[in-house]
Structure 1
């Protein structure tokens, strides 16, 4: 059975050899470096006690230094499962979520046709390389020299030149017996609307060959020499060989360099990639005439866990960074993310390297910003945060973005980190959203105090214990918690850990060790959202009322020293005291009330509902059977 062109390449790009092999071996943790895809284990093909079987997960190959077994994921499945080639591909395709193609008798002929097109592209490259040495390319050579590309560098990158004429390449290849249809199919020529011979796609341009990961020339990118040309940069049209949404410039060499530990850098164009590689950043790639796509990200993550997106610091570069951010969010996985370098405005990597050298670029790469940092900055700068409505829009925007993350563990950590950043932002900048609350004088101890805790300290500890018991309720009370001033730095630190997801697992048990806290229904029914909401609302109200009354007393004491005393002051204190008493009357002792759920979903006291029904019956409004008269 023949497989369609590109099927195996796509299969290999989706698979992790480490995961395939990992089902059969136990990795040697002392010798392996999983972050770099460098994995070692005892060989599954022969008996041994030492780890001589090596997997290079980034390159997708294995080799045993003992029995010399070697191959890729397909050969590994063939040998370990004792199946043929097609069956091994079928097994791996199922793991990769790919549909096996139906038998296609044309597939073999299609593969031959693609191989023929690749040979034509190599002939075109030879022609363009020769043209760079001619008198017609004098200005092109001068341009490359001004950009810092020596003749040796030009040779390393196979840079060529397309002469200004309309038929230069076409006539050359026709003389070698290559028909016009093949030139058009390869993307080297276009049909004439006037009925003449097909004309060259590239004219009067410096040409950069574009290769697939295996090193075959599949397309060209051309930089116009005429300033009046409508397209400064022009890529080959899409062909059976070239799909720009799946192709990265310098893919193969960058994969090799990334496998040796170099940072994988994604730049915007050919000259940026060449400049980076010539200055030692050999794991540099660029998309081709399009923004980064999902296919690009899959290729990038096969090469490195955290590719660095290096873009110009202007408006267009920032927009491109934001597009890459939004594209990557749903695809994030444990260990797989992006980092971002935004260069000084008006500079690209080539400009920076020529002006300030390798150390400046290395510093930017070393300090590249994590994806969440860019996401946070974008949303913070998108609107003022000085009103509840704007802060609500801010919260909604962040929640919408994080909800797109498909991996549950990554999504949870993003939510925790955003909660921490939000806490820090609003606590540090009250004018932007945190509630301003007067700090009351220390509360006196009361009958509630046990073990040295004041009433205020006990309330604060109950609130923390409820949050520890049911963390999911935090988002419902985020605004109240952000503005809550704790009377003790230790409790403030616990609150910060809870809000940021850094609290220890046994925090609830430690807080609930206090007898007056352990009886709270929300502590005993940990994880019950409804109970947690009710108890937390009650405790926040009690704490606010108690603090409000304390502030009133403090102000009354100050007024009594002056001329402000009188009936008004007495009335204020009486109202404040009654409010405090009402808030504190409920307590959080054992709740023995029997509830049932009404039609609208609310919890209703069962005895109270029965008494109300009896009253309706007594006055003739409702019959005992429940029918309305």
Structure 2
């Protein structure tokens, strides 16, 4: 509905904002100067004892110096009553004695018809309410008592009963209500066989459905007969009632949410009633359908982050999963959903009755963000043991994230998904622990020649090799931070890179988590602090690296990473060969093992020659391969012990 020019201005001039606000606050007489239209009070929007809430009656505005809430009389009513703009205007217009602008004749005719239908519906609600006290409703009363609803609670919710015979059609037409109104309100229906109209609700407990303003717009009926075609039946679509644009308990939930209660979304009438009676008064339910876009928007007008608390059975979980697909394109900053997962086979009503309101509160406190349920839906019960399956997961998640319209939210979802993906696929570090395998006993002659592969002090080939690996790790990490655009290209190799330095491992994980952040270095700083970054970039070999000096140059960074990651992978592959050979040596010392070790030495020689042209510190071993002095010392001991381990020599086989 559009308002004519000047209507809002006229409304504001007729109202004193101090009168509107004064209904909700207590003025501070010491600070206020009513003669000058200057009013002060404790703020109604946040808890405080001092009077920081200021109302300027002459300008028609309010402002809180504590929480910074501000606005005019209309916005004050909207915030405190939790109503829409037009509803706030209607409330204030009524107080000011101003009639709302007339609509065109056709619109006015529709409004008048809707008013008649609402009156018919209210008569039906009250008549069904009276029927609950009759003898025909004894079974219905027993059912409600078993469900824990007292007579007072039944009265609060206007619960009624529709008898099998002599129903609402005869009652209303007998009182002079036009039959067409009863049919149009959805209380009765025409027979398909051309007979007389019949009551739509028969032999059912009746739950009135009201709109946000409290008007009866439809009915919900729970069948008492076990063989009924539908356990629950709602009113059909009428000029008053639209299932996809209505919520059960809308008005009271909106009022409670305006007072700070979280909005809970349950599945049915009894869940809402049970929650409300247990103190969770801000709760609603969709009406016999899956949650629609319109219902989501209505929920977000009530509260920015509703909690979906559907049943803990398969159907309830499927419904929760469907909500995700509807909600993703509608997400906005500060507007989302959380999910309270009920125990399997239970709904909120069951949980409260069996374990009390505290158990329900605990579940609400543990409600998870929507991104976590999205991850659970795409990963639960699935095995990702191949590159193809992992790629399939990535594709499915990317398609879902693309649905988000807000670029900021889309970016944050990407980061959250990447972090969970990293937790799922993070490579398990295979660390060698001396003495762990049975072949390496306390008296093992090889034990003193071996160090843990995860140690940053020395490897089986000496401290020099470990130092070289440490330098390579540092250059790789610094290059990724200096030129984040290359992270995606080398992501898989970086994920597989074991870091011997704990700071390097910390940086590697942070780089992968924040690969899509606008400022990767700043995001890493926020997560792990300055020390690891300062330590990394203060190293001389990092400072002089071309990829770091030319930060942002994708070509240079790609060449550097390709070379360093390749050499690091080759070196560690050689180490694994030697380590595996030494583990087997005690029981399998033969020519094939000697050949295997010599081949490892040749591979090391090739790697070393690629790293430097300076061979002054390198010497030949028996097979002609080149090792530096530290490596030769360790390798010589290895060969000597291998010879001593032959059958008939030293320790024997």
TM-score normalised by L of structure 2: 0.71
Report the counterpart of residue 599 of structure 1 in structure 2: none
Is the Cα–Cα contact under 8 Å of residues 266 and 307 in structure 1 kept in the other structure?
Answer: yes
Is the Cα–Cα contact under 8 Å of residues 62 and 70 in structure 2 kept in the other structure?
Answer: no
Matches within 5 A, 1:211-610: 211-427=210-426, 439=453, 442=456, 454-501=467-514, 502-504=523-525, 511-524=536-549, 526-527=551-552, 529=554, 531-552=556-577, 563-564=590-591, 566=594, 569-579=597-607, 581-582=609-610
Q: Tell me by how many angstroms 1:160 deviates.
A: 0.9
Is the Cα–Cα contact under 8 Å of residues 542 and 580 in structure 1 kept in the other structure?
Answer: no
SS of residue in 2 equivalent to 1:300? helix
Matches within 5 A, 1:155-166: 155-165=155-165
- State the distance in 2 between where 1:392 and 1:411 align: 20
Change beyond 3 A, Cα 1:174–1:377: same
Is the Cα–Cα contact under 8 Å of residues 137 and 163 in structure 2 kept in the other structure?
Answer: yes
Change beyond 3 A, Cα 1:384–1:41: farther
- State the distance in 2 between where 1:77 and 1:205 align: 40
Is the Cα–Cα contact under 8 Å of residues 542 and 584 in structure 1 kept in the other structure?
Answer: no
Change beyond 3 A, Cα 1:389–1:464: same
- State the distance in 1 between where 2:191 and 2:563 align: 80
Is the Cα–Cα contact under 8 Å of residues 218 and 241 in structure 1 kept in the other structure?
Answer: yes
Q: Tell me by how many angstroms 1:487 deviates.
A: 1.0
Report the counterpart of residue 99 of structure 1 in structure 2: none
Change beyond 3 A, Cα 1:319–1:407: same
Bigger Rg, which one: 2
SS of residue in 1 equivalent to 2:76? strand
Which is worse superposed, 521-530 or 416-425?
Answer: 521-530
- State the distance in 2 between where 1:51 and 1:174 align: 56
Change beyond 3 A, Cα 1:77–1:456: farther
Q: Tell me by how many angstroms 1:181 deviates.
A: 1.8
Name stretches of at least 5 consecutive residues in structure 1 with no aligned partner: 4-27, 79-87, 90-102, 432-437, 586-629
- State the distance in 1 between where 2:396 and 2:496 align: 21
Q: For the aligned residues, what is the CA RMSD? A: 4.0
Number of corresponding residues: 520
Q: Tell me by how many angstroms 1:268 deviates.
A: 0.6
SS of residue in 1 equivalent to 2:177? coil
Q: 1:125-166, CA deviations, whole angstroms, 9 ceiling, x for partnerless residues?
A: 11111111111111111111111111110000001111112x
Q: Tell me by how many angstroms 1:233 deviates.
A: 0.1
Report the counterpart of residue 142 of structure 1 in structure 2: 142
Is the Cα–Cα contact under 8 Å of residues 419 and 500 in structure 1 kept in the other structure?
Answer: yes
Change beyond 3 A, Cα 1:184–1:262: same
Name stretches of at least 5 consecutive residues in structure 2 with no aligned partner: 4-39, 91-99, 431-451, 515-522, 614-653
Is the Cα–Cα contact under 8 Å of residues 440 and 550 in structure 1 kept in the other structure?
Answer: no
- State the distance in 1 between where 2:328 and 2:494 align: 28
- State the distance in 2 between where 1:114 and 1:106 align: 12
Change beyond 3 A, Cα 1:529–1:146: farther
Is the Cα–Cα contact under 8 Å of residues 170 and 183 in structure 1 kept in the other structure?
Answer: yes
Change beyond 3 A, Cα 1:286–1:196: same
Change beyond 3 A, Cα 1:563–1:122: same
